């Protein structure tokens, strides 16, 4: 069955990661693994950008299995949106405060991905689990990769596999503290584990997709 339905998108990711340098110090940051009851899907607050392949596959899934998405508040025909720059993403809809995490970042808009149910569960992932697929099989790759980041190389430089910090979060700007480093599984937590431990499931999956033992490399660096 494979790890993902989105093979073309995965191939692009594979090529990037095979060539990527690893930001070893970033994976020594202490973070906590995803705990949905704690974060209420804070990382999904603005929806997710999709490749054309991901949009096509997920739209087809919704059309063929409407009963799996019938409990969502957003009508199926409105689950996607196109930005002013022509990029496609899952729609972000206004959220009631009681559906957000208690410590929801103050600079995030009070919105949530249209594919989330009232418990913060992703309807795409729920469908996969209910029908015997790998839980992340139908999900956009960006969703399960979070908070890992593959930064594109510039001017001939290698891409970099990293974990943003509050200091270097690429979305940090005046008046905006950042994105990945402000979500529950991406922000520093002294009571957490080193990121290479806390994010082992994501790193293992990425390793399988790209044919590279990322965890082995991270652990070998520790031994050296």
Each residue's pLDDT tens digit, 6-64: 999 999 999 999 999 999 999 999 999 999 999 999 999 999 999 999 999 999 999 99
Whether residue 223 has pLDDT greater than 70 = no
Is 134:144 a contact under the CB 8 Å cutoff?
Answer: no
Phi, psi of 149 (to 5 degrees): -140, 130
Q: Is the pTM of this model over 0.85?
A: yes
What letters, b where the CB count within 10 A reaches 16 and e where it falls short, cover 167-183? eebeebeeeebbbbbbb
Q: How many CB atoms lie within 10 A of CB 193?
A: 15
Give the ranges where 119-213 is alpha helix by DSSP (H). 123-130, 141-145, 195-198, 200-210
What count of residues does the chain have? 224
**Which tokens sit at 53?**
């392949």
Question: What's the pLDDT at 224?
Answer: 47
Question: What's the pLDDT at 110?
Answer: 98
**pLDDT single digits (tens) 52-67:** 999 999 999 999 999 9
**Which tokens sit at 148?**
């890992």
CA distance 171 to 154: 17
**pLDDT single digits (tens) 79-135:** 999 998 899 999 999 999 999 999 999 999 999 999 999 999 999 999 999 999 999
Q: Which neighbouring-strand residues pair with 89?
A: 49, 81
**pLDDT single digits (tens) 197-214:** 999 999 999 999 999 999
Determine which helix (DSSP H) or strand (DSSP E) holds 36, and give its type and residue range.
Answer: helix 36-39
How far separated are the first and last CA of the chain, in Å rounded? Answer: 37
Whether residue 168 has pLDDT greater than 80 = yes
Region 186-207: mean pLDDT is 98
């Amino acid at each position: 069955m494979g790890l993902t339905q989105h093979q073309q998108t995965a191939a692009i990711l594979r090529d990037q990661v095979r060539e990527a340098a690893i930001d070893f110090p970033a994976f020594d940051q202490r973070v906590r693994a995803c705990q949905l009851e704690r974060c209420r899907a804070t990382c999904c607050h603005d929806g997710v950008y999709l490749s054309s392949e991901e949009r096509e596959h997920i739209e087809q899934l919704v059309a063929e299995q409407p009963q799996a998405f019938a409990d969502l508040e957003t009508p199926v025909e409105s689950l996607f949106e196109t930005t002013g720059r022509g990029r496609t993403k899952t729609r972000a809809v206004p959220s009631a405060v009681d559906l957000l995490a208690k410590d929801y970042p103050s600079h995030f808009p009070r919105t949530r991905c249209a594919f989330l149910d009232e418990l913060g569960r992703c309807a795409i992932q729920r469908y996969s689990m209910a029908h015997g697929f790998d839980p992340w099989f139908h999900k956009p790759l960006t969703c399960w990769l979070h908070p890992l980041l593959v930064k594109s190389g510039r001017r001939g430089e290698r891409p970099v596999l990293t974990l943003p910090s509050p200091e270097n979060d690429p979305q940090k700007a005046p008046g905006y503290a950042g994105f990945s480093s402000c979500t529950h599984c991406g922000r520093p937590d002294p009571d957490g584990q080193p990121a290479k431990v806390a994010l082992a499931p994501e790193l293992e999956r990425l390793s399988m997709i790209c044919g590279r033992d990322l965890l082995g490399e991270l652990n070998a660096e520790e031994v050296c």
